[in-house]
Amino acid sequence: MNSRKVAIITGGGRGIGAETAKLFSRQGYAVCINYKSNAEAAASVVEEIVALGGQCIAVQADVSQEADVMRLFETVDKQLGSITVLVNNAGILKKQMRLDEMSAARINTILSNNVTSYFLCCREAVKRMSTRHGGQGGVIVNVSSTASRSGSPNEYIDYAASKGAIDTMTKGLSLEVAAEGIRVNCVRPGLIHTDMHADGGEPERIERLRSRIPLQRGGLPEEVAEAIYWLASDKSSFSTGNFLDLAGGL
Ligand code: NAP
């Protein structure tokens, strides 16, 4: 059996998830990087981690799909061992538009990718971690967004609302499993330099909004990874149901 602690990072092939995977590996975790379609990006993160002596696997799974989530967790059970940490990070947004232009298909896609996915991964993690089910405990860190508080008017209210759901789920689940050895916390990043803004149709979005950020710059994925790691580590052992805002003061 693996002597290293085991972490699953959903959406670990790029952006915040990739930096989080690298940081967990540097801290001695065996890491599973989950991704949806960019196998090349995930493989390059695995290669970088393994070259530094880490243990890492990449598992393709669309975490909005129940069967894929089951397969993801079963693969980790078999290849890495008992999960200690789940980082729910995979997320999407769509082109900026007003709510009165949104189709039902778009709204459902955002909700299944950003909300159903986190619920399903939490369910599988709790089944394995909870002392109620014979587990050893563990930690879940959800990646939400400052959008849950701003509402993202004129950009993507659907995305913002999906993150609001994650804030509420974090609070509820943290209380539901607190006496079962599981801590559940949340980071809420602001404007972070990743590919995601291009998916919204505005790659230079951070530049447009930079002057509104009190620290006068966007954040780096590495800076978010540090907060995720802290919340997952024993350094935050008395923290559950808490939210760490990382938005340069925004
Ligand atoms: P990113 O660079 O676009 O990367 C997203 C990652 O999620 C990719 O690895 C992608 O897989 C994966 N993914 C998306 N849908 C998936 C699915 N259904 N199943 C499995 N994997 C899936 O995004 P990011 O900026 O790092 O965002 C990470 C998290 O931070 C998201 O939850 C996002 O909402 C949140 N966040 C970001 C910002 C920001 O400014 N960037 C701000 C606040 C919150 P592929 O590589 O295969 O496509």
Examine residue 157 and state whether it is found in any structural domain, yes or no. Answer: yes
Lookup: tokens for 9: 């990072």
Examine residue 70 and state whether it is found in any structural domain, yes or no. Answer: yes
Examine residue 126 and state whether it is found in any structural domain, yes or no. Answer: yes
Examine residue 250 and state whether it is found in any structural domain, yes or no. Answer: no
CATH of the domain at 200: 3.40.50.720
Nearest-atom index, ligand 1, CA of 39 = 47
- The number of folded domains in the chain is 1
pLDDT in tens, 91-145: 999 999 999 999 999 999 999 999 999 999 999 999 999 999 999 999 999 999 9
- Residue 36 beta carbon below 6 angstroms from any ligand 1 atom: yes
Q: Are 94 and 146 in contact (CB under 8 A)?
A: no
For ligand 1, atom 24: residue with the closest CA: 15
Examine residue 90 and state whether it is found in any structural domain, yes or no. Answer: yes
CA of 171 to the centre of ligand 1 (A): 22
pTM: 0.98
- Residue 72 beta carbon below 6 angstroms from any ligand 1 atom: no
Examine residue 1 and state whether it is found in any structural domain, yes or no. Answer: no
Examine residue 64 and state whether it is found in any structural domain, yes or no. Answer: yes
Q: State the residue range of the domain holding 156.
A: 6-245
In the predicted model, residues of the chain with pLDDT beneath 50 are none
Q: Are 138 and 124 in contact (CB under 8 A)?
A: no
